[in-house]
Amino acid sequence: MASSVSDHDAKYDRQLRLWGADGQAKLEKSHFCLLGAGPEGTETLKNLVLPGVGRFTIVDNAKVTERDLANNFFVTEAELGKNRAEVVAAWLHEINPDVKHVDPLVKSPIELIELNPDFVTNYTFIVATDLPERSFLRLAESCFAHKIPLVITRVYGWMSYLRMQLPSYPVIESKPDNVIPDLRLSVPFAELKAYADSYDLASLDDHKFSHVPFVVLLVKAVQGWRKANNIAEDVIPTPKDKVGITSALNDLKRRGVAGLNFTEASKFALRTWVPYRVPDEVEALLNDDRAQHLTRETSDFWIAVHAMRQYRSCEGQGRYLPLIGQIPDMKLNQSPLWKLRMCTTTNLNKTWPHCMDTYKRHWRSSAATQNR
C-alpha cells in the first residue's frame, strides 16, 4: 500500500509534530540574515537550515583563516583565504538542498549597519555575532523600529552571551501543558444538561449504572444539592458548598455496586465548587488596549482576541469564554463517550461561529485597507 505521507512531511516529521504545519509554513517562507559567519552564527544558521528555512543571507567580508579551521565545522583547509560567507553558505546549502535561495553577501556587517541600517526590512529575522557596541545599538534600534526579531551573540572561549530583542510576538497555535477540561459542571451548558437529564439512574440495572459517565454523576450531584437547599440554577457553587455537593454525590451511590465512575467523580468533584474564572494571563490579553481598539495595523492575533472579548460580552454573559471542546479521560464504553463528545461538539458548532464571524469581518477590513 502506498504511503499517504508526502516526502516533504516525512522529511520534516519531527518538527511538524513540534510546531505544526502552520509553523513549518512560516519557517519555509522566512528570510534569515546572519551578520558574521563565525562559529556561533554558523551553528545557529545550521539549526534553521536543517528544518527548512526558506532563504538565508550571510553578510561577512572576512577570509577563512586557520582560526576558523579550529572552531568552525563549515570551513576546510582547502578553503583558506576564500570569503567566509561564500564558503559557509555553500556547505550549509549542501546539508539541505530544499533551501533554494542562498545569498552570501561579501560586505562588512559593521559598514552595512552604519551606511544602511534599514537593510533589516528585507529579512524576517536577524542574528548578529561579534559586533562592537556602537553597531549593536544601531542595529537594535533599526530592528525595533521595523519590528524585526533580533538575536545578538558573542563567544569568549568557554563563555558566551545571547540577547534577544523581539517586538510583541503572540503565538496563536500554542500547545499548553496540563489543560484542565472545562465543562462548566456547576452551571452546565445546555447540551450537557440535556445529556445528563437523559439518564434516569433509578431505572438502570447495576451494570449500566456502573458505566454512567462520571460527568453526568457530577451534574446530577449539583442538581441534587440545589434541590436539597432550594438554590436557584443561576447560583454558582463556591468552596464552602463542598460538603453539600459531596454529600449529594454520595447519595447517588447504589449499595453493592462498586463502579470506577464514582471514584472518578470524587477526584473531579473539585471542578463543581471552584468558580469558573478566566486565567490571569488570558484576562490580561482580553483587557489589553490592542484587543479593545482595532486599527489598520492590528495583527491577526489581536483580531482573534477581540473576537473572544466580544463573545464574552454577549453570548458569554460577561463571564464565559467559548468551550475548548476537551473532555476528561474516562473509563467508558464507546457509546456514552461518543455521546458526551457530541455534546461539546454541538456546543462548539453554536458558539465558535460568532467568534469566527467577528474575526473574519475585522480581518477582511484590515486586509482590504492594507491592499489599497
Q: What is the pTM of this model?
A: 0.65
pLDDT digits (tens, 9 = 90+) for 127-142: 999 899 999 999 999 9
Least confident of 163-167, 189-193, 338-342: 338-342
Residue 6 maps to a domain:
no
User: Mean pLDDT over residues 223-232, rounded?
Assistant: 92
pLDDT digits (tens, 9 = 90+) for 58-113: 999 999 999 999 888 999 999 999 999 999 999 999 999 888 777 888 999 999 99
Residue 178 maps to a domain:
no
Residue 333 maps to a domain:
yes
* String of DSSP letters for 290-324: HHHS--TT--HHHHHHHHHHHHHHTTTTTTPPPP-
Q: Are residues 264 and 160 part of one domain?
A: no
> How many CB atoms within 10 Å of residue 283?
12
Q: Are residues 337 and 266 part of one domain?
A: yes
Strand partners, 138: none
Q: Are residues 132 and 226 part of one domain?
A: no
Q: What is the pLDDT of residue 372?
A: 42
Q: Are residues 161 and 197 part of one domain?
A: no
Domain with 100 in it: what CATH number?
3.40.50.720
- Domain around 85: 12-165
Strand partners, 58: 34, 104
Can you read off the three cell numbers belonging to residue 111? Answer: 559598514
Cα 226 versus chain centre, distance = 39
Residue 170 maps to a domain:
no
| Mean pLDDT (the chain, rounded) | 85
Q: Are residues 295 and 217 part of one domain?
A: yes
- Tell me the C-alpha distance between 194 and 340, whole Å: 11
Residue 202 maps to a domain:
yes
* Domains of the chain: total: 2
Point out the domain boundary residue: 165, 200, 228. Answer: 165
Q: Are residues 57 and 116 part of one domain?
A: yes
With bands split at pLDDT 50, 70 and 90, how would you rate the model's confidence at 197? very high
Q: Are residues 214 and 161 part of one domain?
A: no
Burial of 168-205, coded b for 16+ CB within 10 Å and e otherwise, reads eeeeeeeeeeeeebbbbbbbbbebbbebbeebeeeeee
Q: Are residues 216 and 87 part of one domain?
A: no
The SS3 call for residue 120 is helix
Q: Are residues 150 and 17 part of one domain?
A: yes
Note whether 153 and 40 are within 8 A (CB). yes
Least confident of 196-205, 270-279, 359-368: 359-368
User: Mean pLDDT over residues 188-213, rounded?
Assistant: 89
Q: What is the pLDDT of residue 326?
A: 73
